Amino acid sequence: MAKTLSVLIPVYNEKRTVLELLRRVEAVTLPVAKEIIIVDDGSTDGTRALLADLGGRATVVLHEKNRGKGAALRTALGRAGGDLVIIQDADLEYDPADYPMMLGPLLDGRADAVYGSRFLGGPHRVLLFWHYFGNVIFTLLTNVLYDINLTDMGTCYKAFLAEKIKDIPLRSERFGIEAEITAKICKRRLRIFEVPISYSGRTYTEGKKITWRDGFSYLWCLLRYRVSD
């Protein structure tokens, strides 16, 4: 039976990039059908006006106020009808051309989850040492706490068998969702693959949103979910 991929796109104030991102997602040729679910998390920059004109190109869900990436992802996951799901930011840092690489281990039965790693040799923009260093530290902490050997726990690009990720209770409202997902799939010993991806990071003046403060959420989630769901 043919499989379907649900592309989950949380959006907050991405007027400059969201339509180009949608075009790139639509352009990817895959051995599965695609459904696109966009959750606008209270944008105030005109993003909503653009999404209102998409017609049938995507399912669009609106949050009345900004709640955070985690809340938007949970909403999108609740609408997903595909056999596979992939998380896609709307800011063009991650390239949908990497979808075939991401989905391969899921489609051939080797994996329950696939992480696109920015540190396995793919092309990437040289940028922001302290952001990179923070991710190294949190990845190391994840590996120690959960006895795993990830190279990039904070990557946006995560793909799953839908039945596996939907079976996990997710609670984080904001960027802590990245650490929560990683903690819980590691704790459940899902089969995780990593594949190299390209990465074109943004500066804060270009619109990057995650900050050092979100590191506290990462730390709290990694420690909390080691002992509790």
pLDDT tens digits along 83-134: 999 999 998 999 999 999 999 999 999 999 999 998 887 666 656 676 778 7
Q: Are 61 and 75 in contact, with CB atoms under 8 Å apart?
A: yes
Contacts of 192 (CB under 8 A, 6+ apart): 111, 112, 113, 114, 115, 148, 150, 185, 186
Contacts of 19 (CB under 8 A, 6+ apart): 50
Higher pLDDT, 62 or 3: 62
φ/ψ of residue 8, rounded to 5 = -100, 115
Task: Grade residue 165 by pLDDT with cuts at 50, 70 and 90.
Answer: very high
pLDDT of residue 123: 66
Measured between alpha carbons, how far is 141 from 152 in angstroms, rounded to an integer?
A: 11
How would you classify the pairing of strands 33-41 and 4-11?
A: parallel
Q: Which domains does the chain have, with CATH numbers?
A: 4-227 (3.90.550.10)
In 3-state terms, the chain is what percent helix, strand and coil (to 5)?
Answer: 40, 20, 45
Where does 80-153 have alpha helices with state H? 99-107, 129-146
pLDDT of residue 127: 65
